[in-house]
Structure 1
């Protein structure tokens, strides 16, 4: 009779306790959701849209584009030196002169005259020792500006894709922590049920409560991190308003290129190495110009001057209808020659030649850095392929281990501690899979950036089979 009375009495507080825990959990989640979801109309952002949106919206690229245009106009101005220059001058257009000249020994004369004196000068440099090198320098600067634009563009696209993957990863982290939270709620219910039935301990209930609290905190942290990642992606893409992405994490493709090909293509296509060669060429041309100063500059010129007048000048009686004109045309071949300047330009020549050697060392250094970065990205890609496969196996094993541990706990031959350990192992296994897919995609984007090769949608089974394993990355 007493036993029949005890059970209803114990069940009531148990139900109230579980309800209170769920209410607290719901309240905590709602407060986070209120912070995170205060959004306007959403647009959907695909991974394939990142390139176009970055090119269209990013302000850094627009600034570099203006710099490219500036160097292009500078090049045009240097090329213009190949063509003749034309100068038109006019001394009074028109000019009016009036006056009176008194002399006691002669008649008084007067002046009242309109005049114009235009002149036209044409000059063409036949031999300009500096012109050729200046055009080459301007052309190289233009090429460097274009390369810098491409470098920045590719870096920004890579960074935007990295933030996209990071946001996608954070959605999967939320999903994983939500699963852990659900498992912790189940564990707490089981522990409380056993305690109320007299076959469990208070320690197990407290342990389950602590695990539930940790999972709640971890989930909230992941939600906040998700929102931060979203803001960072929005910032680099310069998007107005809210947006949403495909939350499902997947491999963006496969890398079917051998390591040697990666290094060869990366060095051949590297814009940074091309810029170093261009800078070296600029310094060589600057050095030449310091010596070319000592060479003569030869040019031909044609100077045409004319004069038109109407009226009288220094006449006793002014004739307003009197007019006159004259012209002179002079063609000449000229040259100028800077013979000696105290050795100033010779020393500047030596300085530029020393700078040329420094570019050789810079080239070798960047070349070694590129080889290292390409090799690291390639090997990390292969490592993450293995991690993806091993994490999938680990998830399968830990799911079964958790199921068996819960069955053992239910029938009383195991403790809640064992269930919580298996539960944590499952969460860790899911995190490993999420991280390995995230890093795999980052490695792919980095290899594309470094080598200029393309990601394939078709998996090369021969390259991607894991030794002594039936599973392959091609099946993911």
Structure 2
């Protein structure tokens, strides 16, 4: 019963918050969204943000690193840029290609090895005093070898390489999810930095207006010098907060540019408005099960366990019989003699059995069994961590959604309180201290609302990453 009531409450809160956000972001959205004539084409934006293809290139002149322009991008464009430019993702792709080549190398043992060689030789008595003419001879040989039976070593090597490909595929998938999460988180950080600059700039404007009003009241003989000093101190504090916010905005932009591997002379800013990214429809239990099914870390540990098992088989195969096939065809000819070309062939089986190796093979097998146990332990540990991650971000999502509702209402109340404080001051029944306090409350309420929305979006991004759908392979 408690679970049902909680879900009903959660759904009601989500609907109410959506209505409130729609009300308070309508004007902001109208200012933020670009007109059709100003909309940047996504393809051209991505093309302009393409970094230098040479990974070893680095700037040598100040003008090469000087910021030439700021490009507004959306979250979807940022995700596309990261997919194309991020170097960690590129490294994961190279690792996958390397393991695929290693698999082809291991599969080559299924086919025989063939080789040919030849030798052309000229013999004589010497350059001085020799009486016999020189002779020229040719010899050649073709050889083929094939391992008929390896006691499972060949099959284990191939299976080991296949599991490595599987591990690197899962690593690429996991790296893609991590990069997507990092991009979303950094984008929300950039939004928060931009909003903080906007909020603090508005606070400076409010403080300037209050200072002008206070000075006018002093000149009219209805104010005091103390009120003016209070307004000046409040303005100085607001300007300091704005300066710090601008610094954090610049840092957030450069940090995001580094994550996206952007060109050295390009700066970026967030174009998407600050609003709730979406609602989570699954229950906690459904989310946990999806995470178990979709997270690539668990199959990675299973693949590592399978690799250790193949290494154990490889080690024990050294104690079993080894059987190989060998075939040789050779020919030899000495020029300018009366004998024709001489040729011959040989075909044979080669067998080998190690009677005693001092226990080395069984020791390697024991190491592999220990690796199997380690992989199983890591699997269990990762399973518990996945559940904790899901529960952590699920609870954060719920609390942040409640915070969005609370902060939205508080923002409305703070705006009304500031209007009342100014009216009271104009009517002579209020004080400048009340106005300053109301201005600070409004600034804090605006910041709390932005923080609540972006904290919700961060928790949602983490939760989506926890249950991300498996990519098709």
- Classify the TM-score, shorter chain: 0.7 to 0.9
Is 1:127 aligned to residue 153 of structure 2?
Answer: no
- Distance in 1 between residues matched to 2:457 and 2:469, nearest whole Å: 15
Structure 1: stretches of 5+ with no match in the other structure: 1-37, 101-108, 313-321, 455-476
- Distance in 1 between residues matched to 2:272 and 2:295, nearest whole Å: 34
Is 1:174 aligned to residue 197 of structure 2?
Answer: yes
Aligned match of 1:268: 293
Deviation per CA, 1:382-423: give whole Å up to 9, x if none.
111111111111111111111112111211112111222122
Cα distance change of structure 1 residues 169 and 247 upon mapping to structure 2, 3 Å threshold: farther
Is 1:40 aligned to residue 62 of structure 2?
Answer: no
SS at match of 1:338: coil
Aligned match of 1:211: 234
| Distance apart, 1:114 and its partner CA | 2.3
Question: What count of residue pairs does the alignment treat as equivalent?
Answer: 399
Is 1:438 aligned to residue 454 of structure 2?
Answer: yes
SS at match of 1:255: coil
Is 1:324 aligned to residue 340 of structure 2?
Answer: yes
Is 1:296 aligned to residue 318 of structure 2?
Answer: no
Give 1:50's match in structure 2, choosing from 55, 68, 78: 78
Aligned match of 1:160: 183
- Distance in 2 between residues matched to 1:431 and 1:194, nearest whole Å: 31
SS at match of 1:242: strand
Is 1:196 aligned to residue 219 of structure 2?
Answer: yes
User: How do 1:351-390 residues align onto structure 2 when only pairs under 5 Å count?
Assistant: 351-390=367-406
User: How do 1:24-423 residues align onto structure 2 when only pairs under 5 Å count?
Assistant: 39-90=67-118, 92=119, 94-99=120-125, 112-129=134-151, 130-240=153-263, 241-246=266-271, 248-312=273-337, 322-423=338-439
Deviation per CA, 1:196-225: give whole Å up to 9, x if none.
333322222211111111001111111111
| Distance apart, 1:373 and its partner CA | 0.8
Whether the 8 Å contact between 1:284 and 1:352 is mirrored in structure 2 is yes
- Distance in 1 between residues matched to 2:273 and 2:376, nearest whole Å: 47
- Distance in 1 between residues matched to 2:454 and 2:212, nearest whole Å: 35
SS at match of 1:250: coil
Q: TM-score, normalised by structure 2?
A: 0.80
Whether the 8 Å contact between 2:330 and 2:344 is mirrored in structure 1 is yes
| Distance apart, 1:158 and its partner CA | 1.6
| Distance apart, 1:226 and its partner CA | 0.9
SS at match of 2:146: strand
SS at match of 1:311: coil
Whether the 8 Å contact between 1:447 and 1:453 is mirrored in structure 2 is no
Whether the 8 Å contact between 1:169 and 1:438 is mirrored in structure 2 is yes
Whether the 8 Å contact between 1:172 and 1:247 is mirrored in structure 2 is no
> More deviation in 80-89 or 346-355?
346-355
- Distance in 1 between residues matched to 2:122 and 2:232, nearest whole Å: 106
- Structure 1 segments of 4+ aligned residues over 4 angstroms from their partners: 109-112
SS at match of 1:239: coil
Q: Which has the larger radius of gyration?
A: 1
Cα distance change of structure 1 residues 453 and 394 upon mapping to structure 2, 3 Å threshold: farther
SS at match of 2:179: helix
Q: TM-score, normalised by structure 1?
A: 0.80
Q: CA RMSD in A?
A: 2.1
Cα distance change of structure 1 residues 44 and 194 upon mapping to structure 2, 3 Å threshold: closer
- Distance in 1 between residues matched to 2:339 and 2:187, nearest whole Å: 83
SS at match of 1:120: strand
Cα distance change of structure 1 residues 170 and 203 upon mapping to structure 2, 3 Å threshold: same
Structure 2: stretches of 5+ with no match in the other structure: 1-65
- Distance in 2 between residues matched to 1:291 and 1:396, nearest whole Å: 74
